[in-house]
Amino acid sequence: FREDYYVSGGAGYVLTRQAVDLLSSYIKNDSIYSECKSSMEDMMVGQCLQKILQLVPFHIKKDLTLVGETIDEHGRERFHPLAFRVHFNGPSNKTKREWIHFRPFHHTIFGYEALSETTISFHYTQPSDMYQIDSFIYDIRLFDKQVCRLHL
């Protein structure tokens, strides 16, 4: 399995309609499915898609989008691989030792500046986290930054 095609799926991933169709049609093939074994569903999907791409005719393969960029124009992630509180507050000692720092695509940044205005999801989200995120999005109204600067 080529890890350079695997970004991380815990926070979610996006598949095109064509990729879903390919996956669903080829996954019925026992020889492919038997080679796609992982306890992590995102790894399994990546392995299966990689295996399927070896079998897909070129005229179909040339039009497939295999890996797309998910960071925004400022280099901030949209699919956050850790919990909201970890991305917002910064890593704990435990987080500093985790796999997150060894990802081949993007170096994970922490703090307010790490959060994209077009964030899509956070991994490891607990119900209490959902309430906090909902509050940040829908309840808290911040002063206009321009107005705040004028009054200081």
| All structural domains of the chain with their residue ranges | 3-61, 79-151
Which pLDDT score, from 0 to 100, does residue 150 have? 47
User: Band of the pLDDT at 110, cuts 50, 70, 90?
Assistant: confident
Range 51-72 average pLDDT = 72
How many alpha carbons lie under 13 Å from residue 74 in its C-beta half-sphere?
11
| Greatest pairwise CA separation for the chain in angstroms | 68
Range 54-64 average pLDDT = 70
Q: Which residue has the tokens 């607990």?
A: 126
CA distance 136 to 124: 18
Range 107-113 average pLDDT = 77
Does the global pTM surpass 0.85? no
The per-residue pLDDT of the chain, averaged, comes to: 73
**Dihedral pair phi/psi, residue 89, rounded to 5°:** -90, -20
Which pLDDT score, from 0 to 100, does residue 86 have? 82
